[in-house]
Structure formats: structure tokens, C-alpha cells
Amino acid sequence: MEMAQQTQYPDQNRVYHYVPGEICVVLTLAAGIVRDPYETIRGRLNAEIPQVLPAPIGGFVVPALATEFDEDFGPTPGIWSSYRIPPQPDDDGVIALFQPPVRPNGTRSVFLNHADGSRTSLNFFRVSLGPGKEVANLPEYAQLTRELVNVVYKRFITENAGTGLDGVDVRAVTPNWLTFIAGSGNNSPGTPALGIPSGAGIDATFGQFSFKAGAAGSQDLDTLVTNQRDAAALQPLSGVTVAVLDTCPKPTAVWRAVVAFWDENRLLRTIIDPNNPVMIEAFPSLDADTDFDEMIPFLPDYLGHLPGWYTTLNTLSGNALKTWRTDNFGAADHGLFVAGIIRDIAPRAKISLIRVLDDAGVGDLLAIAWAISLVAMENSPDRLVINLSLTLDIPFTNQLAMGHEHEDELAKFWFPKTLADNGATATFADQMRPILDCIGFSFDAIFAHLNDKQIVVVAAAGNDALRLSAPPQACLPARYESVLSVASMSRDDGKSGFSNLSAPSHGVAVFGGDGKLSGRPEVVILDDDEPVEPVDGVIGLMSAVDVPPANSGAGVLVGAGTNETGWVYWAGTSFSAPVISAIAANIKADDMVNMLPTRSITDMIAAVQGYADPGLTGHFVADVDAPVIFADNR
């Protein structure tokens, strides 16, 4: 059935691109500096920043905010007036504005090691401004956080206050940006899953990917995949690891599903293959639910339900709120679905499913930076592929690109009053540009680190196209030139309606399913009029007892029914990306057998693009802005 939905745009004052009350200070450490500078930096922040904040925190008298830029930059006296440094001391007995973040695993710093012996460290701080982050205060708390980032930037970068440590410099100040399953914080993470019932033509090859006969390039790709499938029986491990950073169901849920669907789901059985099991909640997963307590107030605009979520935030709390959120916006199987696609196409790869997003598909910079740094350290770069079916929720640019749709989103978000006035925009452009470069640098540093190590990263382009007049460019991290960007194609070989563009220089497009759109900008829903027939979605795994809810015509969440087979249809660029990760893993495995030298990232991108149809012309390439690989798994 096709389920329509009334148009509901999220309140832009309640779209949180970052965690209110947390910031990140990025440091560069010269070669030979081995000490952890965290406490020294925290001491400098606590000593200096309150002196330039309005009363009652520091007693500083803020001059009149004379221009739009001053109003955007802050600090704004009125909004600070109800806040003060809390009277409770921290663990060291210090009454401080900047304290370590509250994370059960104790993470507060992430170090990125460079070949020349230098290091970059990302240092996270919780801004302790009682009365706290009650739901009603979140928009205000978000503004305070943005202004604090600006103030710290001015003190330590513009005024070059220094760290007090030789060889240690402040490189950037950023928010603790949010991350989401591959849609952005403003748009849908794709389509809802649709359960596949018993008796739907399920056989031994159900859900197996193939690369379409007759499409140039597909024959060679089918051979590559077939060879890896054949070799798996004799030599189950290729020596290549695919790290999937995503959501993750509990291992007990996966085992329950394997037992329940043993006869009907051949792919689920391979997940627990003793010779090469998928590592569920692999190191360095955040495997405790409390690791994500800071994420509870935030959701992607899943099926247009942010307005209802705001109401729920004000009526429920504690475990009741967490349970309602998971029950109604559950996406724990998103990562399992991704891992299953990779297992099907690259059965000899070791797959590590690493939890960096909570069960609603939300995470943050701290979680992904910590996980990536450890994955890069624990694995040989030439034998590693990282799959990111997620997006970094930083608006689309780190530069001030005036007048281009989608290009000045970050400037509009960070300097809304300035950007609303053309004269002010021109006047203050030179002051805005370095700040915009700075506040996105935390992610830049992580992916520059992966590029230095020549680690292959594959990322979903994003699912933001439905609410826009034209498909936007790929989200971060897929926009980075060192990342293989993947857009989604429908089953009939057109661009999926929700898909962002990929990139001709470092991207491809491949089957990720589509849905039926009853009229832009409504949410796309898989057409299940005839559920026994293949619908336009990728076939994959789900361990949950019940398929997560879909949307009713009245904009109300309704249960999607019992999971009968462990198979579901799902659509999104999230599920195009693992197809390409698996192909990259197979290329690496084939190169190792043939004793070929390790490919650079550029060479790997060229090799993957080489399997696209070179004879393809017309609107398909233009629609996704990238070469197209034709695939299906019905």
C-alpha cells in the first residue's frame, strides 16, 4: 500500500546539528610530544574564557552588539543571564565551566598519529552551565554552545593566546557534531523497511546480488564476485577486513533470528559461520546503551516525525523516553543489513560490525573519531576497507560560497542574521570564512588521517533529495575526494528519488532501491501492494522480532508487522555503499592472490569505476553525477 503523509517540515530552531553543551578543541602536537595535554588545555579554558563571557559567569560587560555579525558571533548578554558556573566542583575539586564529557567509556580525547611523528588530538569538553540541558532549554543551550565555540576560537586562534605547552598549538575549535544513518538531520534516512513474508518465492539464492547481464563491465564484475564465492568453501578468509561503523543489534538478537529463520534465511546462517563469523559489536564498539544517553534528544527527521518527537520529549523522561524512542524509531538492524550485503558479495572478507550509532541511528563526532582512530591503528591499512553508511550532520560546506544553492548552508546556519543581509554578508565575508573552515576541521582532520594512511573508505552519498528542487551534492564524508562516494539507483536503472548526487571524480552509483513518492516533499514509501512480488528495495537482513514502524496516512506511526523470515526490503544510499565496499574488498583479495602491489586510494577508485558501464550515455550518468554499476538482488 502507498501511505501518504502531510508535509511537515522540522522547526529549524529544533534541528540540532551538534550536541548542545559540548565542544571539541583540536590540537596539533609536534613530534616527540608524548604527554596528554587535555588537563592543561582545560585549565587554560577555565582560566581565560569566563573572563570574556557576560555576567554572571565572568562579570564581563559585553559592548552593544552593533552589527548582524556581532549578533551572530556573540556572546549575547540576554541569553547568558540565566546561566552560571555550577557550584558543584568537578572530580578534581575545581568549580569549572569546562569539564570532561559524560561518557561511560571514559573517552575524552582522540589521537591521530602521523607518519612524521606529529599528532593531532581532538579534545572534548562538556560545558557545565546549570540549570542544565532540560528539553525546554535545548535551543537556547545550542545557541550558547555556538557562541562559546566562537569565543574560544577568537581567544585561542584569532588572538593566538597559546596553550602554554611547547610544541602544542590550537588548530581548530568545533562543536561536537552529530552523525546519523545516511540521511541528514533535516531529511529522511531513506525509506522504512518492509517485511518479506513466508512463501514469497524464497529459495537458496534469494537476496543474492548479481551484476546485470548485458551491461558492459558487469561480466567481469560477476566473475570477480563468483570467484570469491567459489573460493569461500575452501579458504573462508581472504585476509581483508571490512569495518562497518553503524548501528548494531545485540548479539543475542542476531542468534535468536538465526534460530527462528534457519530454514528460510541462508544469509543469516552465514552471519554465524564458525569459519568466518560477522563480528557483532566488534571492538571498538560503544556497546553499552548508556554510551549514547547524550544522544536521546536527537533524531533524524525520520518519516517527518520531528514535531511529534518534540512533544514526546516534553511528556516522557528516563527509561520510558528511551524505550519509546527505540520502539518507534528503531534502526538497530541498519548495520546488520549493511553487513549482510557485504557478506553476500564478499563472503571471504572479515566483517567487523562496530557500533557508533545508537538504536535510532544517531551518534556524534566523539564516537566516530574514537572508533576510526582505533580501527586505523588495529588493522593493516592495505587490508582494510571502512564502510560508512552514515552522514556527518555538518551543513554542506566549509567555505562561504555565496549564492549557490546547497553551498552556503553552513554559513546560513552559523551566521543566520549576517547571511540574511547581502550588505552584511559582503562586509563580513573575510571574517566568516576562517571561522567556517575552523568549525568543520575536526572531520577534515579525521579523513585526512585516513587518506595519509591510504585506507579505503566507502560512504553513502545521502538521502536528501526529496525535499529539494534538485538533488544536492553528496553529504560528508562522501564529499571528501579521498572517499569513494556512492549514490543509489532504482531497480529500473534510474536514480533513486531520494538519492543525493555522487561525484564523477571519486564516486559511483549502484542499486540501492527506491520507493513510491506520492508527491514531493512527502516521504517515499516502498510500494507493498503485492508483497510477494519483488518491490523496488534491496533485500537484506533484519533480526528484530517486529519490523520497525511505518507511517500512516494521518502522519501516525503504525506497526509494520511481525518479522516472518528475517528478510526485509529496505532502500537508501546506506545500502548502495556496502555493495561498493564489498567490491573493493574483493579487488584487494584478488590483488593479494596475484601478488600485486597495494593500490592507492586513487587507484582503487579507478578500479571500482572501471566496472561501470563505459558505454552508458544519456540521463542516467547526469542524474547521479557518477559512473553507474548495474546490480540487483531479487
Band (338; pLDDT cuts 50, 70, 90): very high
Give the per-residue pLDDT at 200.
64
Q: Is the pLDDT of residue 325 over 50?
A: yes
Confidence of residue 531 (pLDDT cuts 50, 70, 90): very low
Predicted local confidence at residue 583, as pLDDT: 97
Tell me the mean pLDDT in the region 132-157: 81
Cβ atoms of 346 and 241 closer than 8 Å = no
Look at residue 136 in the predicted model and tell me its pLDDT: 58
Residue 533, Cβ density class (10 Å: 0-12 exposed, 13-18 middle, ≥19 buried): exposed
Q: What is the pLDDT of residues 541-566, one digit of tens each?
A: 999 988 876 544 444 444 567 888 99
What pLDDT, on a 0 to 100 scale, did the predictor assign at position 398?
38
pLDDT > 80? residue 397: no
Q: What is the pLDDT of residue 27?
A: 95
Model confidence band, residue 328 (pLDDT cutoffs 50, 70, 90): confident
Tell me the mean pLDDT in the region 207-231: 81
Cα distances from 58 to residues 125, 330, 526, in angstroms, run 19, 43, 55
Q: Which CA distances in Å does 538 have to 235, 281, 407, 585, 586?
A: 28, 23, 31, 20, 20
Task: Name the residue with higher pLDDT: 13 or 318.
Answer: 318
Element (H, E) at 22: strand 18-29
Q: How far apart are CA 419 and CA 431, in angstroms?
A: 13
Categorize the per-residue pLDDT at 199 as very low, low, confident or very high, splitting at 50, 70 and 90: low
The one-letter amino acid code at 401 reads A
Angle of the 422-439 helix axis to the 441-452 helix axis, nearest 10: 40
Q: What is the pLDDT of residue 107?
A: 85
- Local structure of 621: helix, strand or coil: helix
* Mean pLDDT in residue range 236-244: 95
The grid cell for 562 is 511481525
Closest by CA to 150, choosing from 116, 184, 127, 173, is: 173
- What residue spans define the domains of the chain? 194-380+475-632
The pTM of the full predicted model, rounded to 2 decimals, is 0.90
- CATH class, range 194-380+475-632: alpha beta
Please say if the pLDDT value at position 1 is more than 50: no
Q: What is the pLDDT of residue 8?
A: 38
Average pLDDT over residues 42-49: 88
